[in-house]
Amino acid sequence: MGADGRKSIFITGAASGIGLAAAKRFAAEGWFVGLADIDGAGLKLAQAAIGAGNCSVHKLDVRDRAGWKKEIAAFGKATGGRMDALLNNAGIANYGYFEDQTDDEIDRQLDINVRGVANGARAGLELLKATPGSTLINVASCAGLFGAPKMAMYCATKFAVKGLSEALDIEFERHGVAVKCIMPWFVDTPILQAGSQGSNENIADAIRQGGSEVYTVEEAADVIWTSVQGKDLHWIVGKAGKQLRFAARFMPGSIRKRMKAMALQG
């Protein structure tokens, strides 16, 4: 089905979590949505959830540059050559001490969380440039504000996405493309079940031990929707994330002390 002149957004990681919630939100606002994910079965369920007439489906591994070109071209054909927004949302995490993570776990986080975002920004730029008022939206994390124990590589990738977004915000201005960096606190998605090979411990366990708040995917989708209408570069999801941003700026020593205590748990 075609977009029929509607505004359009291409979303990676659209089969679940924040990506699916964002797809539902934008579709409810009358947008045409490109659903992209490596999970083919999940894509079919996502398509059914928002209606075949409101979306196009794209089986995509964000690490695959050729795949990006192919699916962006298909999306452009469906939308008449426009892309009002590209949401780089796909990401993974592994939880555990740095030395306990396998080479494959480290490489996959780097490849999906960083290379995947860079691939999307490059592959989508021509359609974004061709669409007045378009926006590139990159999902980083509050893990990109301060390094956390047992999340070293995940934090590194999210710091990278934050830095990339800040640089592209400046670079893409000359193309008329806005850039937004979304930084969620812990959100109730499958990523919270991430652990490491040989360990039963995961991110959800750490959250429960620390008594931290967990926000809904709908709250994250609301922030993403609002970001497209707003002018700011950085968008935090959750009150706890805003508190962390303040503390990271004005009380870094206290956060480091708390993180050290967390590292010794278990």
Active site amino acids = 154
Asked if 237 and 215 touch (Cβ cutoff 8 Å), the reply is yes
Residue 248 has a CB neighbour count (10 Å cut-off) of 15
C-alpha to C-alpha distances, 212 to 101, 167, 250, nearest whole angstrom: 24, 31, 21
Longest CA–CA span in the chain (Å) reads 56
* Selection from 114, 188, 204 nearest residue 156 by Cα: 114
How many angstroms separate the CA atoms of 217 and 133, rounded? 26
How many angstroms separate the CA atoms of 241 and 138, rounded? 17
β-bridge mates for residue 12, sequence order: 36
